[in-house]
Amino acid sequence: MSYIREAWYPVVWADRVGRELTRHVVLEEPIVIYRLQDGGIAALQDSCPHRLAPLSLGRLKGDDIECGYHGMTFDCAGKCVLIPGQDIIPGRALVRAYPVQVKYGLVWLYMGDARNADPSKIFHIEQYDDPAWHAVQGDTLRIECNYLSLCDNLLDPAHVTFVHATTLGTPAGATVPVNNEYHGNEICVWRWIRNAEPIGVFAKFGGLTGMVDRWHYYNYSTPSYFKIDMGSCPTGSIPDMERRSEGTQMYTCHVLTPVDQRTVLQHWFHVRNFRTNEFEMDADLSASLDMAFREDKVILERIQLEEERAPDFKRIILGIDAAPMKMRRMVDKLIQAEAAPRPTA
């Protein structure tokens, strides 16, 4: 399977990286990640160039990794610095070192040419550092499905009524159409549901009890970043849709890591503008969100099995599929552009 490689991908929460060697797989590439003595983080190809023994089975010597098979030792830049019993180190005794950044509590790796590793291209949400908002680290959900299926799901407000009936949806949204907007490598799918009951999450944590106007804005950017803006306000209180921050608003952010063609990691966190100093509710709200995301996991994993069982099945296309289909065309276009021959000087 092909992937967009000239991009940053989240791999693991930074607070889960210690001085032990841990193996991760990103875009089908095995990677060993560990914390340096100065607190930084290193990420190397998890394959010794001698016999392909995983370096994660070796041991740390300071900030170097000693391969557990024959003791070849590599520094945190991927260069071999020692071969036991041999003074000459071949020039090809190298492993790939990946550019690393930490943002939003996550470790991000650049999977393309290191010369293109611009940190400003990492997913961005301006409210994260805004003192009027409160950011909460979520979790990582491993889903046994193709990452594009999860991308389809996260561009699809229509499923919320049926899959998340007690958490993120109500029956009022079943017949409300969605609007699609496309800008470069970004997509926004949105809708407002007027004069309806509040969804479970906002009723429980946002204190909304009467009828509300509520919204969902599903914002996607390549390769697999999602910023979902959802909120509510008392019916009729915010006539200008661009003034949503005056209501009860939350962004759930989903940044995905394709592991292989049938596995994806869904890293998520949220920022909210209500009850921002009530840290004791963070765990309960995160648990409610986690329950909703696990409802998607059940369906997506079953879809993956059905697709593998019937690979030639011809699906029908509905109006709600416009944005997911556009997303897949965007991804294909970027993959093809990366694969195109580069002009020579």
The tens digit of pLDDT for each residue in 231-271 reads 999 999 999 999 999 999 999 999 999 999 999 999 999 99
Rounded average pLDDT over 123-144: 97
At 295-324, the pLDDT tens digits run 999 999 999 999 999 999 998 999 889 999
pTM for the structure as a whole: 0.94
Instruction: Output DSSP code: residue 341.
Output: P
Residues contacting residue 59 through CB under 8 Å, at least 6 positions apart: 21, 65, 66, 68
User: Which pLDDT belongs to residue 159?
Assistant: 81
Those residues with Cβ within 8 angstroms of residue 219's Cβ, 6 or more apart along the chain or in another chain: 186, 187, 188, 226, 227, 228, 229
Q: Which of 252, 7, 3 is nearest to 108 (CA)?
A: 7
Mean pLDDT is lowest, of 39-43, 158-162, 189-193, 315-319, for: 158-162
Q: What percent of the chain has pLDDT over 70?
A: 97
Structure tokens at 284: 């309960």
The answer on pLDDT for 345 being more than 60 is no
Amino acid symbol at 147: Y
Residue 170 confidence class, pLDDT cut points 50, 70, 90: low
The residue ranges of DSSP E strands in 21-99, in sequence order, are: 22-26, 29-35, 41-45, 59-61, 64-66, 73-74, 80-82
Grouping H, G, I as helix, E, B as strand and the rest as coil, residue 172 is helix
Label residue 215 by pLDDT band (50, 70, 90): very high
pLDDT of residue 342: 73
pLDDT for 240 equals 93
pLDDT average, residue stretch 76-104 = 96
Banded pLDDT at 207 (limits 50, 70, 90): confident
Q: Please state, in angstroms and rounded to a whole number, the distance separating the CA atoms of residues 189 and 291.
A: 23
Domains of the chain: 8-119 (2.102.10.10), 124-335 (3.90.380.10)
Q: What is the CA radius of gyration of the chain?
A: 23
